[in-house]
A and B are shown apart, each in its own frame.
Chain A
Amino acid sequence: AQSVTQPDIHITVSEGASLELRCNYSYGATPYLFWYVQSPGQGLQLLLKYFSGDTLVQGIKGFEAEFKRSQSSFNLRKPSVHWSDAAEYFCAVGAGDTGNQFYFGTGTSLTVIP
């Protein structure tokens, strides 16, 4: 069965420090992978997505993610975190070949300290 795991429920980093949010997925075929960000009380905004090709994808707001098939991972990274990056981050798998939809992780809450 398809699933997405975000092992870190909450992460705290200092402003200017680097960031890596982990995401592991379980899916029988080549997945479509996404990272979304959610500010408090708001909807989800797409940061980046991977469909095929280059396994390192660039997104908005200086984020990038790397698809590693051997590890079934799609970790999100940012070299230098800004205070405005504090939010909830969701990893998702698009199950396009099942005529179904998306599977989301439970999210990682990011706190940025000055």
Chain B
Amino acid sequence: SQTIHQWPATLVQPVGSPLSLECTVEGTSNPNLYWYRQAAGRGLQLLFYSVGIGQISSEVPQNLSASRPQDRQFILSSKKLLLSDSGFYLCAWERGGRWGTEAFFGQGTRLTVV
């Protein structure tokens, strides 16, 4: 069966520090991968999605970047965190080649920038 792992679960980082959140999927190949950010009362905002290794699409200009160094690995990064980067970050995967048919979510990372 397929599983998705996302870590760390919580993170407190000072302003200006770098960020690296990792997401891996097991039990499937060539998945579509997504990074979402969830702010209180604002639902889910799509940050990045990827259809394959090295292929990243950005939905919103921001202080963040994403990379997909391996088929089932998706990394969210920042060189210098801002206070506004605080939030709940969710990674999700979907069966490759089937857009918008069902997304499976990780458990999320609560990021607090202080």
A residues neighboring B (CB under 8 Å): 9, 32, 34, 36, 41-46, 49, 51, 90, 92-102, 104-107
| Complex interface: stretch among B67-75, B77-85, B98-106 | B98-106
A94:B99 contact, CB within 8 angstroms: yes
A92 — which chain B residues lie within 8 A by C-beta?
Answer: 103
How many chain B residues touch A (CB < 8 A): the figure is 24
Q: List 13 A-B contacts (CB under 8 A).
A: A42-B107, A43-B90, A44-B103, A44-B105, A90-B44, A95-B100, A101-B32, A101-B49, A101-B94, A101-B103, A102-B46, A104-B44, A106-B43
On whether A101 and B44 interact (CB within 8 A), knowing A41-B108, A43-B108, the answer reads no
CB distance from A41 to the nearest CB of B (A): 7
10 extra interchain contacts, Cβ-Cβ under 8 A, other than A93-B100, A101-B100, A106-B43?
Answer: A32-B101, A34-B102, A42-B107, A42-B108, A46-B103, A51-B101, A95-B99, A97-B99, A98-B100, A104-B43
B106 — which chain A residues lie within 8 A by C-beta?
Answer: 43
Which of B6, B32, B44, B106 neighbours the largest number of chain A CB atoms within 10 Å of its CB? B44
Asked if B41 is at the interface (CB within 8 A of a chain A CB), the reply is yes
A46:B41 contact, CB within 8 angstroms: no
B43:A46 contact, CB within 8 angstroms: no
A41:B99 contact, CB within 8 angstroms: no
